[in-house]
Structure formats: structure tokens, C-alpha cells
Amino acid sequence: MPRSRYKVVTKDHSPYFITSSTVSWLPLFGNPIIANIIFDSLRFLQNKKSLSIHAYVLMENHIHLIVSSPTLEEEIRKFKSFTARTCIDWYQKNNKQWILEQLAFNKKAHKVNQKYQFWQEGYHPKLIINEAILTNKLEYIHHNPVARGYVDDPAHWRYSSWRNFMQLESILDIDKL
């Protein structure tokens, strides 16, 4: 059971806006190999039909998603567990000691059965109950790289569903709402 103060109450597979951040906001997704692990895992959940992805943006240290699933809490738990293990394995195999030291140092004390922590706990689900909230969250997601000063146009951020909405080549397919 996740240690999140937020609870997901799925009604008719409603979409949720969720955010997951790396432990201590470490900028781990700047590495394209790590970013691809995240996208491969999301693709797997999509192909398995256990998670519908409606929008996304992957930043250097967090991911925003609009997703739906009849078992959202379980699917996000599996996603975070698998990606954490896979990324940590990659860091170990490639002798990325500084990052491993950071993941160990920033691990929460109650996590006694593991040496490293990749993700912060929780994922802050917010139910999207109407079109206005959906539009607000889509704008927030897609303009996150612009607000951070990384690009001037959201279409230039490779790791965003803005490209899907503009019918441009994208890194991950989305399920339209």
C-alpha cells in the first residue's frame, strides 16, 4: 500500500492529473537512456491496456500525466517500482557511483528493505471532473518546459504530448479523451 496521503477513487475510469518526482528532485531524466526507460514502461502499460495515457510531459526531475485506469493506484505503483528498479540497475551496471550515492543518501529512513530510493513517495492524483479542469491541466503540462525556460515553443520539447495534439511525430502515443 502506498504511503500517500492522497486516495484515488476511480469513477467510470475518470482521468486523473498526476505528478511523480524523483527523490530530492534529482535531475535524472536528462539522461536519454533513463527517459527511455520511463517511456518504455508507459508504453508497456498502454499495450497491456492497464493504463490510458491522455497527456504527458517528462521534465528533468518529474513527470506529469493525465491518465485513466480502473486500477490506477496499482498501475502507478507497478510503474514506479519497475522504473526505479530498472534505472537503478542501469546506474549500477554503468558504474554511476555519484547518482547511486545520491539515491542512497536521499532514501527515506523507513525504507529499510532497500538501499536506494528513486521516486518520491506518492503521485498526487487530482480527479479531472470537467472540461475546464482538463484544459487547465493540459495547458499546465504542455507549457511546463516553456515556463522553465527550456524551450520557447512547446512543440520543441520532445518529451511532451503537445506534439501529439499538434499531429507531429511524438515519442509516445496518447489516448484521446
Q: What are the DSSP calls for 141-160, one per residue? A: HHHHHHHTTS-SSGGG-TTB
Exposure of 29 in the CB half-sphere (CA atoms within 13 A): 23
Q: What is the pLDDT of residue 11?
A: 53
pLDDT at 124: 86
Domain locations in the chain as residue ranges: 16-165
The structure's pTM equals: 0.90
Q: Which residues contact 36 (CB under 8 A, 6 or more apart)?
A: none
Sort 52 into a burial class: Cβ within 10 Å, 0-12 / 13-18 / 19+: buried
Q: Enter the CATH code of domain 16-165.
A: 3.30.70.1290
Nearest-Å Rg of the Cα atoms of the chain is 16
Distance CA 66, CA 137 (A): 8
Q: Which parts of the chain register pLDDT below 70? A: 1-12
Q: What percent of the chain has pLDDT above 70? A: 93
Cα–Cα distance for residue pair 84/79, rounded to 1 Å: 8
Q: Tell me how far apart the alpha carbons of residues 134 and 26 are, in angstroms, rounded to a whole number.
A: 28
